[in-house]
Amino acid sequence: MSEPDPVWTERTVVRDGVRLVARDHGGDGRPVLFLHGLAGYGGEWDATVAGMHGRHRVVTLDQRGHGASERRPPGGDMSRPAYMADVIEVITALRLDDVALVGQSLGGNTAMLVAAARPDLVRALVMVEAGARGMDARDVDRIGAWLGSWPVPFGSLDEAARFFGGGPAGAGWAAGLEPRGDGWWPRFDAEMMVRSVAGLVRPSFWNEWRQVACPALVVLGESGIISLAEQREMASARPGTAMVTVPGAGHDVHLDAPGALRAVLTGFLERRP
Spatial neighbors of 109 by CB under 8 A, at least 6 apart, are 80, 103, 127, 130, 200, 205
| pTM listed for this prediction | 0.96
Tell me the backbone φ, ψ of residue 52, rounded to 5 degrees: -70, -20
Pairing of strands 242-246, 216-221: parallel
Predicted confidence at residue 136, as pLDDT, reads 95
Assigned CATH topology for domain 9-134+192-269: Rossmann fold (3.40.50)
pLDDT digits (tens, 9 = 90+) for 4-45: 445 899 999 999 999 999 999 999 899 999 999 999 999 999
Measured distance CA(210)–CA(116) in Å, rounded? 8
Q: Output the furthest CA–CA distance in the chain (Å, rounded).
A: 53
How far is residue 219's CA from residue 64's CA, in Å, rounded to a whole number? 24
Q: Rounded to 10 degrees, what is the CA torsion of 189, 191, 197, 199?
A: -110
Print burial letters for 186-219: b (CB count within 10 Å at least 16), e (below 16).
Answer: bbbebebbbbbbbbbeeeebbebbeebebbbbbb
What whole-number distance in Å separates Cα of residue 150 and Cα of residue 160? 9
Q: How many residues does the chain have?
A: 273
> What pLDDT does residue 6 have?
56
pLDDT attached to residue 1 = 37
At 271 the pLDDT is: 85
177 class by beta-carbon count within 10 Å (0-12 exposed, 13-18 middle, 19+ buried): buried
Q: What is the mean pLDDT of each run of 10 residues along the chain (273 residues)?
A: 65 97 94 98 96 94 98 97 98 97 98 98 98 96 97 98 97 97 97 97 97 98 97 96 97 98 96 72
Q: How do beta strands 18-26 and 9-15 pair?
A: antiparallel
- The model's pLDDT over 234-250, given as tens digits with 9 standing for 90+, comes to 999 999 999 999 999 99
Looking at residue 273, its pLDDT comes to 63
Task: Write down the domain spans for the chain.
Answer: 9-134+192-269
Residue 21: how many other CB atoms lie within 10 Å: 19
